[in-house]
C-alpha cells in the first residue's frame, strides 16, 4: 500500500512480543537504570488473535526507567 502526504490511513496490527512490559520492584533502596541483557525466547503455536505463529526474539541489551540517580524509585519499567 502506498500512502501519500496528507492521506489518513488506519491499520490495526498486533504482535505478541510488542506487548511485553517488565516491571521492576524494590522493597529496599530505590534504583535507577534497570536492564535486561542477553535474553531470548521463542513462540510456536496459535497467537492471541487465533493465527498460527512461529518466531524467536533476542534482546542484547534493553534499558528502562527511571534512568538517572536523581529519579531513582522503588518501581521501574
Using alpha carbons, select from 54, 48, 37, 42 the residue that is nearest to residue 13: 48
- Report if residue 36 sits inside a domain: yes
Predicted local confidence at residue 74, as pLDDT:
92
Q: No. of H helices and E strands in the chain?
A: 0, 4
Q: Give the number of domains in the chain.
A: 1
DSSP classification of residue 5? T
> pLDDT digit of tens for each residue in the chain (77 aa)?
666 777 777 766 665 556 667 788 888 899 999 988 888 888 899 987 888 989 888 888 888 899 999 999 999 88
pTM summary value: 0.54
Cβ neighbors of 76 (< 8 A, separation 6 or more) are: 23, 24, 31, 32, 34, 64, 65, 66
Instruction: For residue 76, count other CB atoms closer than 10 A to its CB.
Output: 20
- Report if residue 16 sits inside a domain: no
Q: Which domain holds residue 46?
A: 30-70
Amino acid at each position: 500500500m502506498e500512502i501519500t502526504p496528507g492521506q489518513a490511513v488506519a491499520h490495526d496490527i498486533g504482535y505478541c512480543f510488542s506487548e511485553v512490559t517488565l516491571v521492576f520492584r524494590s522493597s529496599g533502596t530505590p534504583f535507577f537504570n534497570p536492564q535486561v541483557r542477553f535474553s531470548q525466547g521463542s513462540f510456536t503455536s496459535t497467537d492471541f488473535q487465533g493465527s498460527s505463529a512461529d518466531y524467536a526474539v533476542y534482546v542484547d541489551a534493553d534499558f528502562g526507567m527511571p534512568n538517572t540517580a536523581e529519579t531513582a524509585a522503588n518501581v521501574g519499567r
